[in-house]
Amino acid sequence: MKKPKNFEEGMENLQTLLTQLADPATPLDKAIKLYSDTASLIDYCTTTLQKAKLEIETIDANLMQPKTLQGIDSEVKKDEEDILA
């Protein structure tokens, strides 16, 4: 089975395979191949979700870090001086 282009395609392919696996008319040899392909897709989708979660956690961590205020402080002081002048 070829690797999906993205998570959504992987999930669509996974649903298709699961439907085929659930069909009692699916021959055993085909069911084994479907099972193998399903396992590969589950691995791909899980890995993709883990990477997305890590990206989100990294973004959140960056948002929570205090920003340097040097540039902001100098602009505030300049604004205060302009107001008081």
Q: Confidence class of residue 70 from pLDDT cuts 50, 70 and 90?
A: low
Rounded to two decimals, the pTM is 0.70
Residue pLDDT, tens place only, 4-43: 999 999 999 999 999 999 999 999 999 999 999 999 999 9
Residues in the chain: 85
DSSP string, 41-83: HHHHHHHHHHHHHHHHHHHHHHHHSPPP-HHHHHHHHHHHHHH
